[in-house]
Chains A and B, each alone.
Chain A
Protein backbone atom coordinates (compact mmCIF):
# COMPACT_ATOMS: atom_id res chain seq x y z
CA UNK A 1 0.00 0.00 0.00
CA UNK A 2 2.79 2.36 0.94
CA UNK A 3 4.60 1.55 -2.30
CA UNK A 4 1.47 2.22 -4.36
CA UNK A 5 0.93 5.52 -2.54
CA UNK A 6 4.54 6.42 -3.27
CA UNK A 7 4.01 5.84 -7.00
CA UNK A 8 0.78 7.87 -6.93
CA UNK A 9 2.53 10.70 -5.10
CA UNK A 10 5.36 10.65 -7.60
CA UNK A 11 2.77 10.95 -10.39
CA UNK A 12 1.28 13.90 -8.53
CA UNK A 13 -2.08 12.14 -8.20
CA UNK A 14 -2.82 13.82 -4.84
CA UNK A 15 -3.10 17.15 -6.66
CA UNK A 16 -6.21 16.23 -8.60
CA UNK A 17 -7.63 13.05 -7.08
CA UNK A 18 -9.38 13.62 -3.72
CA UNK A 19 -9.05 9.91 -2.88
CA UNK A 20 -5.26 10.12 -2.69
CA UNK A 21 -4.10 11.61 0.63
CA UNK A 22 -1.35 14.19 0.32
CA UNK A 23 2.13 13.11 1.45
CA UNK A 24 3.53 14.68 4.62
CA UNK A 25 5.28 17.96 3.78
CA UNK A 26 9.01 17.65 3.18
CA UNK A 27 9.68 21.27 4.10
CA UNK A 28 7.77 23.60 6.42
CA UNK A 29 8.23 27.37 6.63
CA UNK A 30 8.83 29.25 9.87
CA UNK A 31 5.14 30.12 10.03
CA UNK A 32 4.38 26.39 9.92
CA UNK A 33 3.06 26.32 6.33
CA UNK A 34 3.94 23.63 3.83
CA UNK A 35 6.60 24.87 1.41
CA UNK A 36 5.40 24.82 -2.20
CA UNK A 37 8.68 25.88 -3.73
CA UNK A 38 11.12 28.68 -4.38
CA UNK A 39 10.40 31.33 -6.99
CA UNK A 40 12.97 33.40 -8.86
CA UNK A 41 11.96 36.57 -10.68
CA UNK A 42 13.64 37.74 -13.90
CA UNK A 43 13.40 41.00 -15.83
CA UNK A 44 13.80 39.81 -19.42
CA UNK A 45 12.91 36.86 -21.64
CA UNK A 46 16.62 36.37 -22.37
CA UNK A 47 17.45 36.10 -18.67
CA UNK A 48 14.69 33.59 -17.93
CA UNK A 49 15.65 31.54 -21.01
CA UNK A 50 19.26 31.28 -19.82
CA UNK A 51 18.09 30.48 -16.28
CA UNK A 52 15.81 27.72 -17.59
CA UNK A 53 18.80 26.10 -19.31
CA UNK A 54 20.75 26.20 -16.03
CA UNK A 55 17.90 24.68 -13.99
CA UNK A 56 17.44 21.98 -16.65
CA UNK A 57 21.15 21.13 -16.55
CA UNK A 58 21.07 21.01 -12.75
CA UNK A 59 18.71 18.03 -13.09
CA UNK A 60 15.49 19.34 -11.55
CA UNK A 61 12.24 17.68 -12.63
CA UNK A 62 9.38 19.38 -10.80
CA UNK A 63 9.70 22.99 -11.86
CA UNK A 64 8.15 25.42 -14.29
CA UNK A 65 8.62 28.75 -16.05
CA UNK A 66 5.91 31.42 -16.10
CA UNK A 67 6.02 34.19 -18.70
CA UNK A 68 3.58 36.83 -19.93
CA UNK A 69 3.86 35.53 -23.51
CA UNK A 70 5.04 32.32 -25.24
CA UNK A 71 8.80 32.10 -25.74
CA UNK A 72 9.80 30.03 -28.79
CA UNK A 73 12.35 27.38 -27.94
CA UNK A 74 11.52 27.43 -24.23
CA UNK A 75 10.60 23.74 -24.33
CA UNK A 76 14.17 22.97 -25.42
CA UNK A 77 15.63 25.30 -22.80
CA UNK A 78 13.55 23.53 -20.17
CA UNK A 79 14.20 20.07 -21.57
CA UNK A 80 10.48 19.31 -21.72
CA UNK A 81 9.88 15.81 -23.05
CA UNK A 82 7.16 15.21 -25.68
CA UNK A 83 3.78 14.50 -24.16
CA UNK A 84 2.58 10.91 -23.71
CA UNK A 85 -0.93 11.99 -24.63
CA UNK A 86 -0.79 10.37 -28.13
CA UNK A 87 -0.47 6.93 -26.52
CA UNK A 88 -3.64 7.56 -24.49
CA UNK A 89 -5.44 8.80 -27.63
CA UNK A 90 -4.35 5.72 -29.59
CA UNK A 91 -5.64 3.48 -26.80
CA UNK A 92 -8.94 5.36 -26.90
CA UNK A 93 -9.15 5.08 -30.68
CA UNK A 94 -8.40 1.36 -30.80
CA UNK A 95 -10.89 0.76 -27.99
CA UNK A 96 -13.55 2.66 -29.93
CA UNK A 97 -12.89 0.91 -33.23
CA UNK A 98 -12.56 -2.54 -31.68
CA UNK A 99 -15.57 -2.03 -29.43
CA UNK A 100 -17.72 -0.90 -32.35
CA UNK A 101 -16.61 -3.92 -34.38
CA UNK A 102 -17.36 -6.41 -31.59
CA UNK A 103 -20.65 -4.74 -30.68
CA UNK A 104 -21.99 -4.84 -34.24
CA UNK A 105 -20.69 -8.32 -34.88
CA UNK A 106 -22.37 -9.61 -31.73
CA UNK A 107 -25.65 -7.78 -32.36
CA UNK A 108 -25.90 -8.39 -36.11
CA UNK A 109 -24.40 -11.85 -36.50
CA UNK A 110 -24.88 -13.56 -33.10
CA UNK A 111 -27.60 -12.14 -30.89
CA UNK A 112 -30.23 -11.01 -33.38
CA UNK A 113 -29.32 -11.97 -36.95
CA UNK A 114 -31.72 -10.42 -39.42
CA UNK A 115 -31.72 -10.38 -43.21
CA UNK A 116 -31.37 -6.82 -44.53
CA UNK A 117 -31.43 -6.42 -48.32
CA UNK A 118 -30.09 -9.95 -48.68
CA UNK A 119 -26.71 -8.91 -47.31
CA UNK A 120 -24.65 -11.35 -45.20
CA UNK A 121 -25.21 -11.14 -41.43
CA UNK A 122 -21.55 -10.44 -40.75
CA UNK A 123 -20.95 -8.02 -43.64
CA UNK A 124 -18.25 -5.61 -42.42
CA UNK A 125 -19.18 -2.78 -44.78
CA UNK A 126 -22.05 -1.23 -42.80
CA UNK A 127 -19.97 -1.45 -39.62
CA UNK A 128 -17.27 0.86 -40.92
CA UNK A 129 -19.04 4.21 -40.35
CA UNK A 130 -19.85 3.24 -36.76
CA UNK A 131 -16.30 1.99 -36.20
CA UNK A 132 -15.03 5.28 -37.59
CA UNK A 133 -17.36 7.42 -35.49
CA UNK A 134 -16.76 5.54 -32.24
CA UNK A 135 -13.02 5.64 -32.95
CA UNK A 136 -13.20 9.43 -33.33
CA UNK A 137 -15.45 9.82 -30.29
CA UNK A 138 -13.28 7.72 -27.98
CA UNK A 139 -10.05 9.35 -29.16
CA UNK A 140 -11.59 12.79 -28.60
CA UNK A 141 -12.66 11.83 -25.09
CA UNK A 142 -9.31 10.28 -24.24
CA UNK A 143 -7.55 13.36 -25.67
CA UNK A 144 -9.59 15.77 -23.53
CA UNK A 145 -9.70 13.70 -20.34
CA UNK A 146 -6.09 12.52 -20.78
CA UNK A 147 -4.97 16.13 -21.19
CA UNK A 148 -6.85 17.17 -18.05
CA UNK A 149 -5.47 14.18 -16.15
CA UNK A 150 -1.88 14.81 -17.20
CA UNK A 151 -1.85 18.54 -16.50
CA UNK A 152 -3.95 18.36 -13.36
CA UNK A 153 -6.64 20.78 -14.52
CA UNK A 154 -9.12 22.07 -13.60
CA UNK A 155 -8.11 23.31 -10.17
CA UNK A 156 -9.55 26.11 -8.10
CA UNK A 157 -6.39 27.44 -6.62
CA UNK A 158 -2.63 27.33 -6.92
CA UNK A 159 -0.09 28.11 -4.19
CA UNK A 160 1.65 30.58 -6.54
CA UNK A 161 -1.34 32.90 -6.26
CA UNK A 162 -0.34 33.63 -2.65
CA UNK A 163 2.62 35.61 -3.97
CA UNK A 164 1.91 39.27 -4.75
CA UNK A 165 4.91 39.51 -7.04
CA UNK A 166 3.79 36.50 -9.09
CA UNK A 167 0.81 38.51 -10.39
CA UNK A 168 3.23 40.33 -12.68
CA UNK A 169 3.83 37.07 -14.57
CA UNK A 170 0.88 38.15 -16.73
CA UNK A 171 2.37 41.61 -17.27
CA UNK A 172 6.10 42.18 -17.48
CA UNK A 173 8.02 39.73 -15.29
CA UNK A 174 9.36 36.22 -15.87
CA UNK A 175 9.46 33.53 -13.19
CA UNK A 176 11.17 30.21 -12.55
CA UNK A 177 9.58 28.12 -9.79
CA UNK A 178 11.28 24.98 -8.42
CA UNK A 179 8.89 22.92 -6.34
CA UNK A 180 9.69 21.42 -2.96
CA UNK A 181 8.39 18.04 -4.16
CA UNK A 182 11.40 17.65 -6.43
CA UNK A 183 13.68 14.87 -5.19
CA UNK A 184 16.73 17.15 -5.53
CA UNK A 185 15.12 20.04 -3.69
CA UNK A 186 17.37 21.71 -1.17
CA UNK A 187 16.35 25.27 -0.14
CA UNK A 188 19.90 26.62 0.08
CA UNK A 189 21.06 25.13 -3.22
CA UNK A 190 17.90 26.20 -5.08
CA UNK A 191 18.22 29.76 -3.79
CA UNK A 192 21.86 30.02 -4.80
CA UNK A 193 21.14 28.45 -8.22
CA UNK A 194 18.41 31.00 -8.94
CA UNK A 195 20.50 33.89 -7.68
CA UNK A 196 23.51 32.83 -9.71
CA UNK A 197 21.24 32.52 -12.78
CA UNK A 198 20.46 36.21 -12.55
CA UNK A 199 17.21 36.30 -10.60
CA UNK A 200 16.44 39.84 -9.42
CA UNK A 201 14.36 38.53 -6.54
CA UNK A 202 14.00 35.12 -4.87
CA UNK A 203 11.23 34.16 -2.47
CA UNK A 204 9.64 31.18 -0.75
CA UNK A 205 6.15 30.21 -1.89
CA UNK A 206 3.91 28.70 0.77
CA UNK A 207 1.10 26.26 0.08
CA UNK A 208 -1.80 27.79 2.01
CA UNK A 209 -4.27 25.16 0.86
CA UNK A 210 -2.86 22.56 3.27
CA UNK A 211 -4.13 22.90 6.80
CA UNK A 212 -1.34 23.59 9.23
CA UNK A 213 -1.33 21.85 12.57
CA UNK A 214 0.48 23.97 15.14
Chain B
Protein backbone atom coordinates (compact mmCIF):
# COMPACT_ATOMS: atom_id res chain seq x y z
CA UNK B 1 0.00 0.00 0.00
CA UNK B 2 1.18 3.54 -0.76
CA UNK B 3 0.81 6.33 1.79
CA UNK B 4 1.38 9.97 0.85
CA UNK B 5 2.42 12.52 3.46
CA UNK B 6 2.30 16.23 2.67
CA UNK B 7 5.79 17.45 3.48
CA UNK B 8 7.95 20.53 3.66
CA UNK B 9 11.06 18.61 2.56
CA UNK B 10 12.32 15.51 0.77
CA UNK B 11 13.18 13.32 3.78
CA UNK B 12 11.05 11.51 6.35
CA UNK B 13 12.64 13.70 9.01
CA UNK B 14 11.24 16.79 7.31
CA UNK B 15 8.33 18.70 8.76
CA UNK B 16 4.83 17.65 7.93
CA UNK B 17 3.06 20.29 5.80
CA UNK B 18 -0.59 20.76 6.82
CA UNK B 19 -1.43 22.17 3.39
CA UNK B 20 -2.57 19.77 0.71
CA UNK B 21 -2.83 21.72 -2.56
CA UNK B 22 0.13 23.98 -1.79
CA UNK B 23 2.50 21.66 0.07
CA UNK B 24 6.06 21.56 -1.24
CA UNK B 25 6.48 17.77 -1.55
CA UNK B 26 4.61 14.53 -1.21
CA UNK B 27 6.54 11.76 0.53
CA UNK B 28 5.18 8.52 -0.84
CA UNK B 29 5.79 5.61 1.48
CA UNK B 30 5.42 2.02 0.26
CA UNK B 31 4.36 -0.25 3.16
CA UNK B 32 5.29 -3.49 1.38
CA UNK B 33 8.81 -2.46 0.46
CA UNK B 34 9.36 -0.14 3.44
CA UNK B 35 10.78 2.51 1.09
CA UNK B 36 9.79 6.05 0.29
CA UNK B 37 10.29 8.62 -2.41
CA UNK B 38 9.70 12.35 -2.56
CA UNK B 39 7.75 13.90 -5.42
CA UNK B 40 7.41 17.60 -5.94
CA UNK B 41 3.85 18.93 -5.75
CA UNK B 42 3.16 20.11 -9.28
CA UNK B 43 0.07 21.99 -8.13
CA UNK B 44 2.06 24.08 -5.65
CA UNK B 45 2.27 27.18 -7.78
CA UNK B 46 -0.72 26.60 -10.05
CA UNK B 47 -2.71 29.71 -10.86
CA UNK B 48 -5.88 28.04 -9.73
CA UNK B 49 -7.06 24.58 -8.81
CA UNK B 50 -3.95 23.64 -6.84
CA UNK B 51 -5.91 21.10 -4.79
CA UNK B 52 -7.22 19.53 -7.97
CA UNK B 53 -3.72 19.21 -9.42
CA UNK B 54 -2.41 17.73 -6.18
CA UNK B 55 -5.28 15.23 -5.93
CA UNK B 56 -4.59 14.18 -9.53
CA UNK B 57 -0.99 13.49 -8.61
CA UNK B 58 -2.18 11.23 -5.79
CA UNK B 59 -4.39 9.20 -8.14
CA UNK B 60 -1.64 9.00 -10.74
CA UNK B 61 0.86 7.72 -8.17
CA UNK B 62 -1.59 5.03 -7.07
CA UNK B 63 -1.72 6.30 -3.51
CA UNK B 64 -4.35 4.76 -1.20
CA UNK B 65 -3.86 6.89 1.92
CA UNK B 66 -3.06 10.59 2.36
CA UNK B 67 -1.83 12.13 5.62
CA UNK B 68 -2.36 15.89 5.62
CA UNK B 69 -3.87 18.82 7.53
CA UNK B 70 -7.04 19.93 5.83
CA UNK B 71 -8.57 19.29 2.43
CA UNK B 72 -10.39 22.05 0.54
CA UNK B 73 -13.81 21.24 -0.94
CA UNK B 74 -12.49 20.34 -4.40
CA UNK B 75 -9.63 18.19 -3.15
CA UNK B 76 -11.87 16.49 -0.59
CA UNK B 77 -14.44 15.46 -3.17
CA UNK B 78 -11.79 14.26 -5.61
CA UNK B 79 -9.88 12.26 -3.01
CA UNK B 80 -13.17 10.64 -2.02
CA UNK B 81 -14.22 10.00 -5.62
CA UNK B 82 -10.85 8.36 -6.29
CA UNK B 83 -11.31 5.97 -3.35
CA UNK B 84 -8.36 7.42 -1.39
CA UNK B 85 -8.60 7.70 2.38
CA UNK B 86 -7.37 10.95 3.93
CA UNK B 87 -6.29 11.33 7.55
CA UNK B 88 -5.79 14.49 9.52
CA UNK B 89 -2.57 14.91 11.38
CA UNK B 90 -0.84 17.64 13.29
CA UNK B 91 2.49 15.94 13.99
CA UNK B 92 5.73 17.84 13.68
CA UNK B 93 7.63 15.51 11.37
CA UNK B 94 6.60 13.17 8.57
CA UNK B 95 8.09 10.24 10.44
CA UNK B 96 5.89 10.90 13.44
CA UNK B 97 2.86 11.32 11.20
CA UNK B 98 3.52 7.90 9.72
CA UNK B 99 4.00 6.33 13.16
CA UNK B 100 0.73 7.83 14.38
CA UNK B 101 -1.07 6.50 11.33
CA UNK B 102 0.37 3.01 11.79
CA UNK B 103 -0.68 3.07 15.43
CA UNK B 104 -4.22 3.89 14.31
CA UNK B 105 -4.19 7.21 16.11
CA UNK B 106 -5.20 9.48 13.23
CA UNK B 107 -8.76 10.50 12.45
CA UNK B 108 -10.11 10.12 8.95
CA UNK B 109 -11.03 13.47 7.37
CA UNK B 110 -14.79 13.27 7.05
CA UNK B 111 -15.56 16.74 5.73
CA UNK B 112 -13.98 19.41 3.62
CA UNK B 113 -12.27 22.34 5.30
CA UNK B 114 -12.89 25.91 4.17
CA UNK B 115 -12.00 26.83 0.62
CA UNK B 116 -8.60 28.38 0.97
CA UNK B 117 -7.80 28.83 -2.67
CA UNK B 118 -4.14 28.65 -1.90
CA UNK B 119 -4.24 30.50 1.37
CA UNK B 120 -3.96 27.79 4.01
Please say whether chains A and B are actual partners in one complex.
no
**Interface set of B (CB-CB < 8 Å, partner A):** none
**Interface set of A (CB-CB < 8 Å, partner B):** none
